[in-house]
Structure 1
Amino acid sequence: MPLPRSPLLIACLALCAATSALASERYSVPRMSMELARDLAQQAVDACRSRGYNVSAVVVDRDGNLQVVLRDSRASRFTVELARRKANAVTLAGVSGSEFRRARQDIRPEINSVSELLMLEGAVPIRAGGVLLGALGVSGAPGGDKDEICAADAVTALQDRLEFAD
């Protein structure tokens, strides 16, 4: 016995097919909560304070959107911009600022001329389950290597929260 070919049945089948096609073209992107981003930035500032440095820490999401900014009271206002631009470069490269700089010294002048990017030491990627969530940039210590140590210490300290966040 053939199935009835009502206009309603045909419309439902067409809708189901369209929904299936659209679903295969969508994907979800993991994001950090504001609280986790804030805690990463605070941990970086605290790590540098414990070493005697006054810094700013900036967290950007995987798209380079600003998520959190913390500036220690004695850090220069320029450290915010430097930390943000370092973090943006890390989201582009997917590796720490020092690794990016070492691996791609050949394009450093070009990268540094791009608005919002700065290829310098002092930022690290933020990952969970191998997925890039964003980056943490730090500026204000006497050298980008010291900034980067504070950023890396912060991510390491909160790695369990990153891995097991909902």
Structure 2
Amino acid sequence: MDTPSTPVALAAIVHAGKGSADALLLEFIQALRAQHYRVYGLVQGPAIQKGDHSLRTVQDLDKGTLYPITQNLGTESSACRLDIGALLHASEVLRQALDSHADLVIVNRFGIMEADGQGFNDEILALIDKGYPVLTVVSHTYLPAWRAFTGGLAVELEPEHQALWNWFESSRQAA
């Protein structure tokens, strides 16, 4: 990431375990929307049960559409179940946010795909390049990759309501 000429409104909620920041993020989004802020992007969605297995999803905050992002590789498989094609399909939501006049864009995770230089990285860069505040979630596991990706320019937030509000207000003042 090149050093920008203006402050970057990019932050990650740093959490310790799977799903531990999801409820906080959804509550924050609801509170922002209650104050008429425009929040777009993707959040972790509910699992979809398909026969004897479940698929993880991401959900479009604007339309509510669910995008299954994992695939069934069988019960004996230990390979990564993320479906790259499905992630590409879901990334359209983030590309549409580029024209949304959003007050905040949510990217559900900076996870294994993003840590490997794939996933939603291009969309994150495009959003911040266009000046949108971007908020994501990152686990301690991927924190070193997050720091490398952002060049240390992103804010790392504790999973607390006040930390989210403080960052959001400061990102709005910087715009």
TM-score by length of 2: 0.27
Task: Looking at secondary structure, tell me which structure has more strand per residue.
Answer: 2
Rg larger in structure: 1
How high is the TM-score relative to the length of structure 1?
A: 0.28
